[in-house]
Amino acid sequence: MKKYRWDILVIALLLLVSVSLVLILNLTKTDGRFVVVEIDGKVSSEYPLSQNGTFPLNGGTNTLVIEDGKAYLINSSCPDHTCERTGKIHYVGQSIVCLPNRLSVTVRGESDESGPDLIS
């Protein structure tokens, strides 16, 4: 048993850290107020999540739907339709990306939010 004592301790510590991180990330999620649409890396449009509607994007190659404070893409012209299967987004920082159409939809907390993100 003495041989495995450190193994058990390391595994327990890793589990504790993992559970703590998951709890922290889930408890600090905030609902967004806007979605920002970027095409070719440039902001194309911005829509409030409080406004239900259907919005054609990128010349009609994608369609953004906002319902009940959640946004999702339908009717994409891309071959794999991964962006359609991403699902509904509504938390700050969530995004849907359509690489073939060079399109991204990102949830923001405020319309003028332009601070650094985790990647930069």
CATH of the domain at 81: 2.60.320.10
Residue 4 pLDDT: 85
Residue 20 lies in a domain: yes
Residue 49 lies in a domain: yes
Pair (19, 78) in one structural domain: no
Tokens of 3: 């041989």
Mean predicted confidence (pLDDT) in 12-36? 91
CB 56 within 8 A of CB 74: no
Mean predicted confidence (pLDDT) in 53-78? 92
Element (H, E) at 8: helix 5-27
Task: Give the residue numbers spanning the domain of 83.
Answer: 34-108
Of residues 42, 56, 20, 49, the one with CA closest to residue 107: 49
Model-wide pTM > 0.75: no
Confidence at 113, pLDDT banded by 50, 70, 90: very low
pLDDT tens by residue, 69-86:
999 999 889 899 999 999
Residue 48 pLDDT: 94
Residue 114 lies in a domain: no
